[in-house]
Structure 1
Amino acid sequence: MTIVDRVQAILLKPKETWPVIEQEATDPKAIYTNYLIYLAAIPAIATFIGLSLIGAGAFGISFRVPIVSGLVNMVVGFVLSLVMVYVLALIANALAPTFKGEKNLLNAFKLVAYGSTAGFVGGIFSLLPALSMLGVIAALYSIYLIYTGIPVLMKAPEEKAVGYTAVLIVCGFVASLVVGAVSALFTGGGPGMMMGGAASSSDQVSIKVPGTEITLDTAKIEEAGKKVEEASKRMEEAQAKGDSAAAGKAMADMMGAAMGGQGGKPFAPDLLQTHVPDKLAGMERTAIEARSDSAMGMSFSSVTAEYTRDNGRVEVKVQDLGAVPALGMAMGAWAQSTVNRETQDEVERIYQKDGVSFKEEYRKDGSSAEMSVMLANGVMVELTGDNVDMDGLRGALAALDVKGLAGLKREK
């Protein structure tokens, strides 16, 4: 199911769609990378365009948020909205027994992620600040979506769904205040920042949270702001001349700069493919796809290959995230963390070795395992094993030309 189909289904037929979502074999990582990062970008980008490029006004007075401040708010808002989904999922899972439901973190995450669809899509109204109230109405519909999903995903009786939803929303509101306070630490915390005041004289602003440290490079944000302004002027000139092609290109350049721009020339898919062998740790390659994509003035590339032997299967995916800073930030955020979690059935570890970040997740019975490696040049290697244990997946990684991938040099 494509992302468009899922959005239409959950918005138009929520009661029929929730049972389908419950049966889907997935995990939070897949929902983030295949669904949430795209939807969360809608309100973030629309708000930036509405307040920094179009501007707001009333009673004959108009204003625009400075480009740099708007970019900072866009990036921080995007990241924290993704964080908020997980926070609400934790709350929804914790509340389940109180309303005679069943605790299930994956289902709680599905509930919040897909239930938030209306609010994220409604963020498009922020393109015109005067219509932003319509976005609030769309967010109210998300409450209804969560209400209809609670009996299906959290197994709470229907008569408890109203109370469950109400308490979840109240707790979510309190959590949003905390997240808003964190956002203020990033953005400068008030009108001074919004109106162009400097939050720091340093080129970088950092904040430490449990398990990681996040850094905003204000010099790069300022550079991106200048590119957005230049593209905006070119778009206005092209529109004045009636040159729709040039206006479209300028719009793509402007959106690309707003999302962090191109971090350099992406590695060609054919080049990435040379580092993906025909055989991997005794397994034959049964499928391979190398592709490049472009959107909003940015280009990126990836290679996906499948290897099988007997009943075991390993999928290898090599993605060039370094060419798109915003994409790298969203998909590689885990690389800044250190995690060591173990339960009776599963193990999760994130660690750094020789300047490379590793992430391992596997079931102790050997039925499944996942491994991700983030290289310093922005290339991410992901391995997923079915009926392959963690040692087998590590052996598959060792058989890959990871050293060659790490040695690729990006052209500016």
Structure 2
Amino acid sequence: MTIKTMSEIFYHPSIAMKHIRDEKLKDSNEALITLALLALIPPVSLLIGTTQIGWSLSLSGDAVRLSFASALLSATAFYIALCISLLVVGVAIHWMEHTYGGEASLERCMNLTLYTATPLLVAGLAGLYPTLWFCVVAGMVGLIYSTYLLFTGVPVIMRIPEERGFLFCMSILTVGLVTLVTLRALTVFLWNSLIPLIYLG
């Protein structure tokens, strides 16, 4: 896994996926560490944005800042949930691959998760300016490109025909959607009970 390959997913994804498929892997630790580091981007950005700039629902609306302690607890919980979600998706890809004729190792599946999730995680930088419309637009752009990378990468990395690759991608997206909905529900529960948000006047 190299910085060159990481950057290639933004300007030449088809070549990047071939590099991911052909690179020699010893274990999944490197992918897991990189995922853990990239997963810091959204919570840390939101921590900074909500405490220094403030959360706003519109451009003209008044920004409301969170107390640092409240934002830190929320960011920590968000980070842990994000890491678990990415791990679940990676394991699910490995578990489902044989159904579609794939032959990738768990390490390769974690790398696929890493590279396809990168645009979505990088979009978390929008949290530095936590205005609702800006975060939604950035999140949608990241999600669309991550989905494109998934459909581009699965047939190449799993070495399966494009028809099966399409069905496999739909299954992965279903797992991702369920995981995302669960994450959102858990976040709301935590905000309303264990980690209530404390706003500054």
Q: Shorter-chain TM-score: what band?
A: 0.7 to 0.9
Q: Say which of 138, 146, 149 aligns to 1:145.
A: 149
Which of the pair is proportionally richer in helix?
2
Contact in 1 for aligned 2:117/2:146 (Cα 8 Å): yes
Q: Distance in 2 between matches of 1:103 and 1:16?
A: 18
Distance 1:96 1:192, change over 3 A: closer
> By how many angstroms is 1:166 displaced?
1.8
Work out the CA distance in 1 between the residues paired with 2:117 and 2:41.
Answer: 12
Pair 1:43 & 2:42 matched: yes
**Residue 37 of structure 2 aligns to a residue in which SS?**
helix
Aligned match of 2:111:
110
Q: Which residue matches 2:178?
A: 174
- Cα 1:88–1:15 change in 2 (3 A) is same
How many residues of Structure 1 are paired with residues of Structure 2 in the alignment?
193
Aligned-partner Cα distance in 1 for 2:18–2:81: 29
CA drift at 1:169: 1.0
Compared CA separation, residues 195 and 189, structure 1 to 2 (3 A) = closer
One-letter code aligned to 2:8: A
The reply on whether 1:157 has 2:179 as its aligned counterpart is no
TM-score, normalised to structure 2, is 0.83
SS at match of 1:38: helix
Q: CA deviation at 1:179?
A: 4.2
Note closer, same or farther for the CA distance 1:98–1:85 as it changes in structure 2 (3 Å cut): same
Tell me the alpha carbon deviations over residues 86-122 of structure 1, each in whole angstroms, 9 at most, x when there is no partner.
Answer: 2101111222233332353222111111111111111
> In 2, Cα distance between the equivalents of 1:63 and 1:164?
43
Q: Contact (CA 8 Å) 1:115, 1:146: kept in 2 or not? A: yes
Give unpaired runs (5+ residues) of structure 1: 198-412
SS in 2 for 1:156: coil
- One-letter amino acid of the structure 2 residue matched with residue 153 of structure 1: I
1:28 counterpart = 2:32: no
Do 1:122 and 1:138's aligned partners in 2 also have CA atoms closer than 8 Å? yes
Aligned residue type for 1:55: G
Higher RCO (Cα < 8 Å, 6 or more apart): 2
Asked if 2 retains the 8 angstrom alpha-carbon contact of 1:65 and 1:194, the reply is: no
How far apart in 1 are the matches of 2:9 and 2:172?
Answer: 20
Paired residue type of 1:170? T
Q: Check conservation: 1:46, 1:123, Cα contact below 8 A.
A: yes
Aligned to 1:190: 192
Q: Secondary structure at the match of 2:63?
A: strand
Check the 8 A contact 2:53/2:63 in 1, yes or no.
no
TM-score with structure 1 setting the length = 0.43
For 1:160, the aligned partner's letter is: R
Mapped to 1, the partners of 2:22 and 2:139 lie a distance apart of 30
Alpha-carbon distance in 1 for matches of 2:120, 2:140: 7
Question: Looking at CA atoms only, which structure, 1 or 2, has the larger radius of gyration?
Answer: 1
Moved more, 115-124 or 103-112: 103-112
> Paired residue for 1:394?
none
Q: Is the 8 A contact 1:11 1:117 kept in 2?
A: no
Query: How big is the alpha-carbon RMSD for the aligned residues of Structure 1 and Structure 2?
Result: 2.4
Distance 1:177 1:132 in 2: 17
How many angstroms does 1:156 deviate by?
2.2
**Counterpart contact for 1:80–1:179, Cα < 8 Å:** yes
Contact 1:183–1:189, Cα closer than 8 Å, also in 2: yes
